[in-house]
Chains A and B, each alone.
Chain A
Amino acid sequence: MPQRNPTLFFFILFISAVLIIVVSKFNLLNLATGVVQNVFAPAQTTLRNIFVKDESSAKQENLELASKLVEQQKLISDNKALKDQFQTVKVNSTYLIPAKIVGSPSFVPGLSVPEEFIINLGTEDGVKAGQAVVYKDNLVGIIKKANNSFSKVILVSASSFSLTAKTLSDSASGVARGKGGGQIIFENVLLSQRIAKDDLVVSRGSINQEGEGTAPNLIIGKIVSVNKAPSSLFQSAKIMPLIDFHALSTIFVVVKQ
Chain B
Amino acid sequence: MIFAFPLILIALLLEASALSLPLTLVTIVTLSFFYNQRQVLFLAAFFGILLDILLLQTIGISAIFFLIAVFLLFLYKRKIEDSKQVVFIINLITAVLYALIIKGTVSFFEPLTVAIFGLAFFVILTKFKTLKNKNNNLSFNV
Q: Contact at A17–B109, with CB atoms within 8 Å?
A: no
B49 at interface, CB cutoff 8 A: yes
Across-interface contacts of A5 in B (CB, < 8 A)? 38
Q: Specify which chain B residues have a CB less than 8 angstroms from the CB of A6 in the assembled complex.
A: 36-38, 41, 74
Q: Which residues of A contact B38 (CB under 8 A)?
A: 5-6, 9
Total contacts A-B at CB 8 Å:
114
Is B95 part of the contact surface with A, judged by Cβ < 8 Å?
A: no
Interface of A is mostly: helix
| Interface residues in chain A, defined as those with a beta carbon under 8 Å from any beta carbon in chain B | 5-7, 9-10, 13-14, 16-21, 24-25, 29, 33, 36-37, 40, 43-45, 47-48, 50-52, 102-109, 111-112, 118, 145, 147, 150-152, 159
User: If the complex has contacts A44-B54, A47-B18, are A13 and B42 also in contact, measured as CB distance less than 8 A?
Assistant: yes
Interface positions, chain B 76-91, Cβ under 8 Å from A, are none
Residue among A14, A33, A112, A150 making CB contact with B59, cutoff 8 Å: A33
Residue of B at shortest CB range from A109? Answer: B18
Q: Say whether, besides A13-B41, A21-B61, A103 and B49 are in contact (CB < 8 Å).
A: no
**Nearest neighbor of B78 in chain A, beta-carbon distance:** A3
Number of B residues with CB within 8 Å of any CB on chain A: 38
**Of A19, A36, A107, A108, which one neighbours B54 at CB under 8 angstroms?**
A36
A37, B53: Cβ atoms closer than 8 Å: yes
Q: Are A21 and B60 CB-contacts (below 8 A) given A6-B74, A16-B45, A43-B13?
A: yes
